[in-house]
């Protein structure tokens, strides 16, 4: 399956997807960043994957930026849109256009800690467990139905950085596995609250 990966920064999740692409039936047809200096663009270039940087500073509205994004995605005939550290909120128009085709990974055990700074917030809330969630993207920010999660223990010595590292290690295994379910046609977003794997509600 042809998929586009959207990034904004380091791209370690992108790297894990690149490394496993052939075993998860995915052809990364393009990597798109909203930041021209995203390190993930270098990772993709190194292995010959086409890259597009759409400089968000050049667009005066979310709508015009997303129109450009749609144009690029359609040029590459992407069948799945994989958000991997893409730090920009998508427009309602974009989300409805690709409903059921957009996956995201979020660094918390959703529905806990939607939004930013999830690691520090989990520590501050005295959580014992933290982790990552892969979900379908719907209009509610970090609110689409969860497909899969993995967790780590929060130790008394953890800070936001050590916790982020532990969670990222889990993400690098969890995301490719979940993407594979999608490329195999086993995952379906039925409506904004319901996802199925092999026709069974998750
Ligand atoms: C990850 O923690 C991901 O869950 C979140 O942003 C971070 C991106 O890291 N959405 P990287 O760019 O993949 O290294």
The finding on whether 9 has its CB within 6 A of some atom of ligand 1 is: yes
User: Hey, whose CA ends up nearest to atom 3 of ligand 1?
Assistant: 85
CA of 85 to the centre of ligand 1 (A): 4
Q: Catalytic residue positions?
A: 106
pLDDT single digits (tens) 12-21 = 999 999 999 9
User: What pLDDT is attached to residue 153?
Assistant: 98
Average pLDDT over residues 15-42: 97
For residue 51, the model assigns a pLDDT of: 97
The minimum-distance atom of ligand 1 relative to the CA of 132 is: 4
* pLDDT for position 10: 98
Index of the ligand 1 atom closest to the CA of residue 11 = 12
- Quick one: how far is CA 166 from the chain centroid? 17
31 C-alpha vs ligand 1 centroid, how far in Å? Answer: 15
| Ligand 1 neighbourhood includes 107 CB (under 6 angstroms) | yes
pLDDT tens readout for residues 79-97: 999 999 999 999 999 999 9
For 63-97, b/e burial (b = at least 16 CB within 10 A) is eebbebbeeebeebebbbbbbbbbebebbeebbeb
133 strand-pairing partners: 106, 149
Find out whether the beta carbon of 13 lies less than 6 Å from any atom of ligand 1. yes
**pLDDT class for 110, splitting at 50, 70, 90?**
very high
Pairing of strands 2-7, 27-33: parallel
Which H/E stretch holds residue 17?
helix 12-20
**What is the overall mean pLDDT for the chain?**
97
- In sequence order, the 6+-apart residues with CB closer than 8 A to the CB of 67 are none
Counting from 1 in the atom list of ligand 1, the atom nearest the Cα of 14 is 13
CA 11 to ligand 1 center in whole angstroms: 7
Answering whether pTM is above 0.85, one says yes
Percent of the chain clearing pLDDT 70 (strictly above): 100
Q: By CB neighbour count within 10 A (0-12 exposed, 13-18 middle, 19+ buried), where does 58 fall?
A: exposed
CA–CA separation, 144 and 136 (whole Å): 5
């Amino acid at each position: 399956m042809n998929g586009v990966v959207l990034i904004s920064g380091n791209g370690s999740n992108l790297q894990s997807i690149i490394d496993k692409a052939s075993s998860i039936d995915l052809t990364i047809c393009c990597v798109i960043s909203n930041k021209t200096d995203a390190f993930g663009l270098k990772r993709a270039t190194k292995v010959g994957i086409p890259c597009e940087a759409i400089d968000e500073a050049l667009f005066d509205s979310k709508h015009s930026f997303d129109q450009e994004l749609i144009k690029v995605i359609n040029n590459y005939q992407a069948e799945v849109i994989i958000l991997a550290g893409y730090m920009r909120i998508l427009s309602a128009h974009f989300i409805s256009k690709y409903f059921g085709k957009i996956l995201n990974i979020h660094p918390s055990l959703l529905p806990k800690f939607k939004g930013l700074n999830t690691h520090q917030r989990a520590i501050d809330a005295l959580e014992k467990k933290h982790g990552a969630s892969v979900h379908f993207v719907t209009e509610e920010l970090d609110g689409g139905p969860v497909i899969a999660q993995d967790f780590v223990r929060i130790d008394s010595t953890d800070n936001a950085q050590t916790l982020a590292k532990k969670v990222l290690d889990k993400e690098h295994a969890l995301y490719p596995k979940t993407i594979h379910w999608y490329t195999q046609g086993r995952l379906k977003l039925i409506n904004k609250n319901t996802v199925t794997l092999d026709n069974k509600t998750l």
